[in-house]
Structure 1
Amino acid sequence: MKSGQSLPQQWNSKPTRYPARVKWLRRMDATSQVIGSTVIVIGHGLRRSGIIPWELGVVPILVMLFISVSTLMRFRWSLAQQSFAKRNLWTVVAAAAWSLGLVAVLIIGPILPDTNGDGLGGSRWWGLVHLSEFVLILYSLTGAIRGLRKFASGGVNPAFLLVASFLMLITVGTIMLMLPACRAFPPQVELEGAPFLVAFFTATSASCVTGLIVVDTPTYWSPIGQFVIMCLFQIGGLGIMTFSAFFAVIAGRNVRLSEFATLRDLLSSDGVGDIRRLIYAILGFTFAAELIGAILLWPMFADLPLSQQIFMSLFHSISAFCNAGFALTDNSFVGMGNTWCVGGVITALIITGGLGFSVLYNLATFARTEFKRFTGSRLFYVPRQRRRLRLETKLVLTSTIVLLLGGWAMIYLLERTGPGHESGISLADAWFQSVTFRTAGFNTVDLGELQPSTKLIAIFLMIVGASPGSTGGGIKTIVFAVGAVGLLTVIRGRRKVEAFRRTISETTVNRALAIVFTSLLTVMVTTILIVIFEGRPELFLDHLFEATSAVGTVGVSSTVQLDTNEFASTTFSLTAPSRIVVIVAMFLGRIGPLTLLLALAGEGRQTRYEYPTERVTLG
């Protein structure tokens, strides 16, 4: 027996009679998934243009036939047939579902009606095509997640994994949005898919939960395109690794220690508790909050058909919770700030999504403990390790309240007392903008008409952003809080940075300083490049506003006058080079400039020596 391996591990290390054949089948399985999924996406994307023949439907059928046969062959060759289904759960489920569906279609006939207008949509052939496409897409998604888990378990730097996952999501989103089916146009007009730069910009903005747009979302994109955008900011908001670990858990597999470390870094959590419970809590709370938000937003779209009412409610609820800022209404929520749906529901979703999952989890455990202490009963079960509010939670809540109330007061006072703004804005509009300037990209007023001083306040709020491990961007409220506490420490002449009777480590303070420096440097470089490419120095403040919005993944944009004397958002008016700069800025803002540097630098080495300390003059 090999050292370091138990008997079951020895037995499962070679669970087949023909390892070379099985290895070849696995490779062909993966290749066929890629080919089949590509054909499905292209086929559905181009079918509206009438250039895809129905014969392409044979490809997913052949792919699923190959997967089913190869699964059966691998089972026959297996030396551990009793555990084969457990070790190959998703493959067995896909093959079994397709085989049972095949029998049902051949015996009963298709369930779906003719939707292609060629008389074949209701035939058994098209029923089999639809079945194969559905099963293959789901199986390919699980395959991609398994590949991501394998990649993450190989000791990959979590920072590099974060960068790679978002690049993959943006790439897939760009390809999807370039398909003609994602474009909205009248039936009598045949248009091509979205240009590459438009699709690339939109996919990046959605994946990085920013909300900046170069085309009008409700009119330019079809319902399919809008659905793709919604999926992008849902996945981008939670993170691909969260979904990966979730599927691993429901498959009955353990989350590896390396995966836990990666997930901990991606969620900015220091917890070492049960990762299964944490994953369930994150996804469960997210989907519950989004569902409740959609129900509460239902009255906003009461005049629409039922299907559109459902989609619009879900779209805006997910967009608000993920701090994405995408809206399917005309001109965002301008003029709707006084409604309870916008001023209450939307802002509540934005704030909740921007608190961070570790903070929400800590609040849940604390609430459970307090409820049990006062009533002696159990409201719901959460782990008992955390019975107090952690320092991170206290700093996040304190800084969030200060920023929200301070921003609300400053925006209201500046707009009420500024020159040319005798009427000012309402308290509700000022409150909404204070919330959305930090994390989301919605607006209830014309941002181009704001006072320059108000825009500077907005820039400050955008730089700070949301909280660690949340769906928002910025340098994060924790960094702002650590900086504020550090300032008080210097003023008081103390050596240790302390808050709420806890000492903040020197490493945390140094990291906060590095985050502030890299973020401000990114904003400055982005602004300089936009100013150079646009050649309109009179719009410097608007370009600074735009750059900060991109780096902070906020998504708000000012209004500028075009050469045609028309008014449009700053993002609309940007030239191609400036749009590319904004794309890079949004990506850096979502992953963090410091994270990118860590990903490029790799793992650092700890030195065993220390140089003498010498004092330098700071000012």
Structure 2
Amino acid sequence: MAMAVPKMRFAPPQILAMGYAVMVLIGTLLLMLPISNTTGRPLPLIDAFFTATSAVCVTGLVVVDTGTFFSTFGQVVILVLIQIGGLGFMTMATLFALVFQRRISLRDRLLLQEAMNQGSVEGIVRLIRRVLYYSLAIEAAGALLFAARLAFDMPFGRALYYGIFHSVSFFNNAGFDIFGDFRSLTDYADDPIMNLTAMALIVLGGLGFIVLSDLADFRSKKKLSMHSKVVLATTGFLILLGFVVILIFEWSNTGTLGRFGWNGKFWSAMLQSVTPRTAGINSVDLTALHHSTQFMLLILMFIGASPGSTGGGIKTTTFAVTIGAMIAMMRGREDVVFFRQRLARERILKALTIILLALALVIAVSMILSATEDHDFIVILFETTSAFGTVGLSLGLTPELSTFGKVMIALTMFAGRVGLLTLVYALKPKKSTEKFRYPEGKIIIG
């Protein structure tokens, strides 16, 4: 007898979109409280909304300095929003259900399936348990490493607090920092411990929990899935490409790498190549980068992290599938093949759809902001792409945005975190079944 699926009032994409919206609303109300900042006055609604959206969408774009403007209470609110936004509110809800030994219903499993971008509900609760274990373990390790290094520069209690905040922020690819004056990691540009810890947190958070779970099982299974292989290969290629390009273009730029020795050049170039995985931290002045380097970072931000991760962007697999389809077409082959396995046609169409939707969003928002904001177009395009990819890297535009501009960037962050296809499905969840197929026609391409 077939098991009946409980009927939902809202489709999973709608519930996910509404869930993130509710988190933004709660965060906005909390950040507006006078206790949340050091001035003792309520934060303006638009600034509280923007900051809450940036935290829930794990972006890191800010209109006020997190380290000096917000009080400890406000910073903790931001930290909690980052953690919930990075892991997903459904994952956090599952945590409470597991703690209180509540049964995970089929409805909940369907929501988790949508949230983790899985093909079925099979093994979804097991995956969520691993997500929680891995996240807490990695964040704890990162916090201890940060605290041990920062203890040389500040009291241990403060160093531990800084370590926890930045470990959670970097692992969730949020990019928020509390060093003050928008400094990020510029004071530690040539510090191997700070850079290695930050890069490890960013990469592990950006690979995706599916890949982390696959890697954890590698010792017993002795093999990786095609998905994990593609993610690892693409991530490694993009990091190496970004590192080489940044090193070449910025080697003699006295405003960036030119002021460092070999050690500083290496760590700074490597961190700036890793951070477009949607982390949003920097160890050099981004406004001093050559336009060619800024455009390279823009491309890396657009690609972003991997599916099922804490990052945004079109995702590494979408980029890889599109490149694979192009190569297959150029070679006259029908199938896109990775690691001796071919991809289904609908996967290719989905990748193309995501890229076109993302391009349409970034172009439309950039065009609108170019008409409302008095800044160079490369700065506007960079900020918009950073918002869509939930990266948080900035050329200084965000604090100077108009109210309309803040709303546009906030909505772009929301779309980038929830996912464009999820938003499309949320607006039109019902699938229409084709009663018939039209006769095939021909059109000239190229």
**TM-score, normalised by the number of residues in structure 1:** 0.68
Instruction: Say if 1:208 and 1:587, in contact at 8 Å, map to a contact too.
Output: yes
Matched position secondary structure for 2:251? helix
Of the three residues 270, 275, 279, the one matched with 2:119 is 270
CA displacement at 1:417 relative to structure 2: 5.9
Of the three residues 335, 344, 351, the one matched with 1:505 is 344
* Per-residue Cα deviation, 1:347-400 (whole angstroms, up to 9, x for no partner): 000000000111111111123334xxxxxxxxxxxxxxxxx3111111101100
Of the three residues 52, 55, 59, the one matched with 1:206 is 55
CA distance in 2, matches of 1:406, 1:335: 25
Match of 2:19 in 1: 165
Of the three residues 226, 244, 251, the one matched with 1:416 is 251
1:452 aligns with 2:296: no
Equivalent pairs counted in the alignment come to 437
Match of 2:237 in 1: 402
CA displacement at 1:419 relative to structure 2: 10
Matching residue's letter, 2:213: Y
- For 1:100-179, list aligned pairs within 5 A: 154=8, 156-179=10-33
- For 1:348-387, list aligned pairs within 5 A: 348-370=200-222
CA distance in 1, matches of 2:61, 2:363: 19
Of the three residues 309, 329, 339, the one matched with 1:470 is 309
Matching residue's letter, 1:171: L
Residues 356/421 of structure 1: CA separation in 2 closer, same or farther (3 Å cut): closer
Matching residue's letter, 2:117: S
Of the three residues 230, 236, 253, the one matched with 2:79 is 230
CA displacement at 1:587 relative to structure 2: 0.7
CA distance in 2, matches of 1:344, 1:420: 23
Match of 1:563 in 2: none
Match of 2:266 in 1: 427
CA distance in 1, matches of 2:245, 2:43: 41
Instruction: Say if 1:208 and 1:237, in contact at 8 Å, map to a contact too.
Output: yes
Aligned-pair identity in percent equals: 38
CA distance in 1, matches of 2:259, 2:401: 29
CA distance in 2, matches of 1:296, 1:525: 42
Residues 422/312 of structure 1: CA separation in 2 closer, same or farther (3 Å cut): closer
CA displacement at 1:317 relative to structure 2: 0.3
Matched position secondary structure for 1:354? helix
CA distance in 1, matches of 2:351, 2:138: 31
Q: Which moved more, 1:422-431 or 1:290-299?
A: 422-431
1:310 aligns with 2:182: no
Structure 1 segments (4+ residues) deviating >4 Å? 417-422
1:595 aligns with 2:434: no
CA displacement at 1:298 relative to structure 2: 1.0
Matching residue's letter, 1:172: I
CA distance in 2, matches of 1:605, 1:520: 26
CA displacement at 1:434 relative to structure 2: 0.3
Matching residue's letter, 2:239: L
CA distance in 1, matches of 2:21, 2:56: 9
Instruction: Say if 1:416 and 1:424, in contact at 8 Å, map to a contact too.
Output: no
Instruction: Say if 1:153 and 1:256, in contact at 8 Å, map to a contact too.
Output: no
Instruction: Say if 1:522 and 1:593, in contact at 8 Å, map to a contact too.
Output: no
CA distance in 2, matches of 1:272, 1:361: 16
CA displacement at 1:311 relative to structure 2: 1.4
Of the three residues 392, 398, 401, the one matched with 1:555 is 392
Q: Which moved more, 1:234-243 or 1:305-314?
A: 305-314
CA displacement at 1:421 relative to structure 2: 7.5
Matched position secondary structure for 2:217? helix
CA displacement at 1:617 relative to structure 2: 1.6
CA displacement at 1:155 relative to structure 2: 5.7
CA displacement at 1:517 relative to structure 2: 0.5
Bigger-Rg structure (1/2): 1
CA displacement at 1:605 relative to structure 2: 2.3
Matched position secondary structure for 2:337? strand
Instruction: Say if 1:324 and 1:440, in contact at 8 Å, map to a contact too.
Output: yes
CA distance in 1, matches of 2:27, 2:434: 43
Q: Which moved more, 1:388-397 or 1:220-229?
A: 388-397
Matching residue's letter, 1:547: T
Of the three residues 166, 179, 199, the one matched with 1:329 is 179
Match of 1:486 in 2: 325
Q: Which moved more, 1:299-308 or 1:352-361?
A: 299-308
CA distance in 2, matches of 1:4, 1:326: 48
CA distance in 1, matches of 2:2, 2:329: 53
CA distance in 1, matches of 2:109, 2:427: 21
* Per-residue Cα deviation, 1:93-116 (whole angstroms, up to 9, x for no partner): xxxxxxxxxxxxxxxxxxxxxxxx
Matching residue's letter, 2:240: L
CA displacement at 1:158 relative to structure 2: 1.8
Residues 279/433 of structure 1: CA separation in 2 closer, same or farther (3 Å cut): same
Of the three residues 407, 423, 431, the one matched with 1:580 is 407
CA distance in 2, matches of 1:178, 1:403: 39
CA displacement at 1:447 relative to structure 2: 0.3
Matched position secondary structure for 1:604? coil
* Per-residue Cα deviation, 1:398-422 (whole angstroms, up to 9, x for no partner): 1000000011001111112679889
CA displacement at 1:578 relative to structure 2: 1.1
Of the three residues 382, 389, 397, the one matched with 2:224 is 389
Q: Which moved more, 1:197-206 or 1:339-348?
A: 339-348
Matching residue's letter, 1:351: V
Which one scores higher on RCO, CA 8 angstroms, separation ≥ 6? Answer: 2
CA displacement at 1:572 relative to structure 2: 1.4
Of the three residues 81, 93, 104, the one matched with 1:255 is 104
CA distance in 2, matches of 1:153, 1:174: 32
Matched position secondary structure for 1:209? coil
Instruction: Say if 1:442 and 1:556, in contact at 8 Å, map to a contact too.
Output: yes
Give ranges in structure 2 of 5+ residues lacking alignment: none
Instruction: Say if 1:153 and 1:259, in contact at 8 Å, map to a contact too.
Output: no
1:294 aligns with 2:143: yes
Q: Which moved more, 1:302-311 or 1:275-284?
A: 302-311
Residues 356/155 of structure 1: CA separation in 2 closer, same or farther (3 Å cut): farther
Matching residue's letter, 1:549: S
CA displacement at 1:589 relative to structure 2: 0.9
* Per-residue Cα deviation, 1:515-543 (whole angstroms, up to 9, x for no partner): 0001111111111121111134xx11111
1:546 aligns with 2:383: yes
Of the three residues 7, 14, 37, the one matched with 1:183 is 37
